[in-house]
Structure 1
């Protein structure tokens, strides 16, 4: 992987990106299925315990963006950043830690400041939190209080 400091602002995405959002969601969904399904875990050459451990590791990363504003669900999530981009991938979890959905969000060409003066990264973090709230609303029928 190249050092982001060695890249120009206008570098092509394939200079640093090696997976797509769909790839990442597929992997997260597979891990989520593997949490409670040994066969699904074995398809990843893991055990259900390994999948639970991966989810727990992601729950312990202290950069919550998707789950920053949620109350009825949580997220096991991981952030990413590039010279001009931010990303967040995660598994939505109910109150018992049961996986509900996998998602990946990306922001590309994030400006330093928006016209209203808000730092671009802050606007992206707000947008990621809004996505988390939308997921919470979408899975609400699946979540018991």
Structure 2
């Protein structure tokens, strides 16, 4: 793994922006990281924890997956992510579908629907209880006025290791590890649902981008004011191979070669994932 870690650091060092990551080799259990415990803007990567908190509430009987949820005009205001901002107000969907769209299209109308059914302080306390020591959920959706150099406390934040921990718990819970499911407050079936939803992800420009076509990846992406990020579980032949949580920060609008900074962020995370794919389990 040492050779892989050296390669991952070299990929990051080649860029003018900050890149942090956490890696878990699921074939050996070995871990590595680059600033894995340093808080960074979470953007929509945080929605994995929102999903699992909602599924916990379902398990406890506080929410129902078939609960009808109305798309309201007030929820569409200032939303810059997803498709439901374009839908006719009054459309009704079940809570399950709101959770699904919050993850697979990062829909922020649906995110608000889910968050309105959760207690914000309780959500943060639950994350801390899981061991996500550097994760905090702030506003329901990012403020449109968020400055490029904003303090991370002004919006939601997390750390790469926190997201890796959460994904590992979801995976183990889905595999029937009762202790992992209990720690999440979910049943094995609900852990499997959460994992399935992550595999339905429609945004595949980072962790999956340089992997063989149709590689199974359970991931949640993020688009921040100054970075792009992705955290997911990669499978090979249905076998969990590795967990990678990668975050870029202070990405310039334009790179020295004149190309958009976000494209370099996409490529950097994709290359990190490809390096893991080539080195792990082979």
- For Structure 1 versus Structure 2, the TM-score category normalised by the shorter chain is 0.7 to 0.9
Matches of 1:137 and 1:85, distance apart in 2 = 26
Moved over 4 A (4+): none
Counterpart residue number, 2:158: 19
**Which SS does the other structure have where 2:158 is aligned?**
coil
Matches of 1:82 and 1:91, distance apart in 2 = 21
TM-score (norm 2): 0.46
**Is 1:31 aligned to 2:170, yes or no?**
yes
How far is 1:14 from its partner? 2.0
How far is 1:85 from its partner? 1.5
Matches of 2:225 and 2:163, distance apart in 1 = 20
Mapped contact 2:227–2:265 kept (Cα < 8 A): no
Mapped contact 1:75–1:90 kept (Cα < 8 A): yes
- Larger relative contact order (Cα-Cα within 8 Å, sequence gap ≥ 6): 2
Which runs of no fewer than 5 residues in structure 2 stay unpaired? 1-138
Structure 1 residues 139 and 49: alpha-carbon distance in aligned structure 2, compared to 1, 3 A threshold: farther
**What is the aligned residue count?**
140
Structure 1 residues 138 and 35: alpha-carbon distance in aligned structure 2, compared to 1, 3 A threshold: farther
TM-score (norm 1): 0.86
Which runs of no fewer than 5 residues in structure 1 stay unpaired? none
Matches of 2:207 and 2:237, distance apart in 1 = 15
Matches of 1:4 and 1:83, distance apart in 2 = 10
**Is 1:128 aligned to 2:269, yes or no?**
yes
Q: Larger C-alpha radius of gyration, 1 or 2?
A: 2
Counterpart residue number, 1:87: 229
Matches of 1:4 and 1:99, distance apart in 2 = 36
Matches of 2:278 and 2:153, distance apart in 1 = 34
Counterpart residue number, 1:8: 147
